[in-house]
Structure 1
Amino acid sequence: MSRSAATASAGPTGDAVLVSETFSINSIDSQKYDRVSRITGSNPDIKFHLDIAHDLYPMQAGETIELVLASTLKLDGSSDIGEAKQGWRDIDEMPTLADAYEYVCYGKIYRFEEAGVDSIKAYISFGGLLLYLEGSAKKLTTLKHEYVYLLVKKV
């Protein structure tokens, strides 16, 4: 069995996956920067803006993606934060959550705001590429970790 096949069949345990949502891409703005696009998307509970390196991972309006925020890439749910700061690609040779996704970043949640009675805004930076999430407090309250992984794949 290939590494990807093993990963796809075995998901992470514990509290590793903080948010896992499917979104429709509403628009893409590539005018401000040469190699970065701002993707805007939504589902019934959450809307987002994501800066993405479009030469590494091209996307188009109308596509559907799965967006996951996770506290670790280890499938057993154990922490890898110390290792991740050295470079998440070098964590180990065992299958990881990243094997099942096409675009992976490591970053820091730097701000939360209340956006209404049952709504939260979260701001995350992945080395200058930003993710803004706004939506249901029920869906986003798991975002208490300081450092997270962003994992994206087209559905």
Structure 2
Amino acid sequence: MGVYYTVHSPYTLFADACMADARLARDFNAAAKDFVATGKGAEAVISQLERWATLHERLSPTLAGNPVLLEVKEQSKALSDAARMALIAMDVISGQKALPADYVDQAEHVLNHAAEQEGGRTQLANLPGLRTLVEAAVGENLD
């Protein structure tokens, strides 16, 4: 059923601190799409992916010490896992690595799992960009 807020409700959830429209995610999604289309901007895309790939590891000590933040633990891990899949995709797209044998199934599982996560009543707005990179690497739509 959900929680109904009033002007007197305490704002104690993770979602209460989040912006409704995440500019970083929008910018990343656009950069990923542009990279796939033009091959430009790889450095910025890789830099962001590297930050997300290590997010869960860096966030874990904070999660352990704050029960309110535990609601985003699985989402944090899902984002890190999806970013690692996208980093592999970047290597494949740029010709630095061959597509690993089990990559398609693994990437599809990771992206679908990430899409299902709604920790803290939030969603990962950067999944379209991550999916764009993975699909470009495998040459097919994973939906």
When the two structures are superposed, what TM-score results if normalisation uses the length of structure 1?
A: 0.26
**Highest RCO, 1 vs 2 (Cα 8 Å, sep ≥ 6):** 2
Q: State the structure with more CA Rg.
A: 2
